[in-house]
A = this chain, B = another copy of it.
Amino acid sequence: MTYADRLDAAIARLKNPCLVGLDPHVDALPEEFAVVRDPSAPRAAKAEACATFLKGIIEVAAGRVPAVKPQSAFFEMYGADGAKAWEEVVAAARSAGLLVIGDVKRGDIDSTAKAYAKAFLEGSSPEDQGSTCDAITINPYLGADSVQPFLETCSRTGTGVYVLVRTSNKHSALFQDHGTPLLHEKVALHVAEWGRQVMGNCGLSSIGAVVGATHPAELARLRSMMPATPLLIPGYGAQGAGAKDVVGGFLPGGRGALVNSSRGILYAYKQPRYAGLHWKDAAREAIHDMVAEISAALATP
């Protein structure tokens, strides 16, 4: 079954397009995981603390949202111990029935891209089977031949990729808005074309695009340029965008996009709105509130 079809079914089953970003920020982890802030603590203890925290988040996300998005940088900080924690977290999320989008933003020449596709989407050995991702994010800077190995892997293994098109950070325009058409528009047209190689029965492709919600007008324009492309929309919540800002990224019926929130969910316990709640209960409430906000915005004509 293609990634596109599995994604479309998961969004329909959960009745919402919310994606929980799993970014274990050292400075924000709850006090019971303070070991990550101790410079002299063993690395394995820090990595394990991150995994335990995220498995708690996965418990409250499971059955409530279709997917989670672990950010590899926060695991790579702990070297081999972090890589082990990454595998535990990915496996826990998949076992809990969540789709897993590995936020790895890889991009390299073809023979190297093949190795990355193997690393994250296919696995190289029997013991990898539970800990590969359903999809990953990739960076298009190197061009079409750096993307092609991912298209082949996605076709063969029922996985997906999200190509960075327009990111949600403050200065993303520097290079992404270069030239005429704007660079990110050119990338978007290629993403739409690449996507035709890996279509699902649902009419959507398994080749998606990352398009920040912090640029709502662009979001609607990019949606129309990539009509069959699943979007991954970061920028909601802690990064500043609201529910109304993301509506332009969707196809009719609330299909074809995932809206990500990371800090807004994971560290909800720090917000006045959830004061007094245990971090896990705060995350559950924050997921509930995000689902309600996005659903209401999508239902408004």
A residues with a Cβ closer than 8 A to B are 23, 25, 39-43, 46, 71, 73-74, 76-84, 86-87, 105-113, 115-116, 118-120, 124-128, 131, 139-146, 164, 167-176, 178-180, 183, 186-187, 190
Say how many copies of this protein the assembly contains.
Answer: 2
**Residues of chain B within 8 A of A73, CB atoms compared:** 106, 108, 112-113, 115-116, 119
Q: Check if B143 sits within 8 Å of A176, measured CB to CB.
A: yes
Given contacts A71-B112, A106-B105, A179-B183, contact A174 B144 (CB under 8 A): yes
Partner of A78, one of B124, B142, B145: B124
Query: How far does the alpha carbon of A180 sit from the alpha carbon of B180 in the complex, in Å?
Result: 9
Q: Check if B172 sits within 8 Å of A143, measured CB to CB.
A: yes
- Interface majority SS on A: helix, strand, loop or mixed? helix
A110 to chain B, nearest CB (A): 7
Given contacts A83-B83, A127-B42, A179-B183, contact A76 B115 (CB under 8 A): yes
Q: Check if B176 sits within 8 Å of A186, measured CB to CB.
A: no
Q: Find the residue from A41, A111, A119, A125 having the highest chain B CB count within 10 A.
A: A125
A84 to chain B, nearest CB (A): 4
Query: How far does the alpha carbon of A127 sit from the alpha carbon of B46 in the complex, in Å?
Result: 12
For residue A41, which residue of chain B has the nearest CB? B125
Q: Check if B77 sits within 8 Å of A84, measured CB to CB.
A: no
Query: How far does the alpha carbon of A25 sit from the alpha carbon of B139 in the complex, in Å?
Result: 22
Q: Find the residue from A126, A145, A171 having the highest chain B CB count within 10 A.
A: A171
**Residues of chain B within 8 A of A183, CB atoms compared:** 175, 178-179, 183
Given contacts A83-B79, A115-B77, contact A141 B176 (CB under 8 A): yes
Given A74-B112, A178-B179, 8 additional A-B pairs, CB 8 A: A73-B108, A79-B87, A79-B119, A79-B127, A79-B131, A105-B106, A142-B176, A178-B183
Q: List 24 A-B contacts (CB under 8 A).
A: A23-B111, A25-B111, A43-B125, A46-B125, A73-B112, A74-B112, A74-B115, A76-B116, A77-B119, A79-B83, A79-B128, A80-B80, A82-B83, A83-B83, A105-B108, A109-B169, A110-B169, A140-B175, A141-B176, A142-B164, A143-B173, A145-B171, A175-B187, A178-B183
**Residues of chain B within 8 A of A109, CB atoms compared:** 167-169
Query: How far does the alpha carbon of A166 sit from the alpha carbon of B186 in the complex, in Å?
Result: 18
A194 to chain B, nearest CB (A): 11
Partner of A139, one of B76, B107, B190: B107
**Residues of chain B within 8 A of A175, CB atoms compared:** 140-141, 143, 183, 186-187
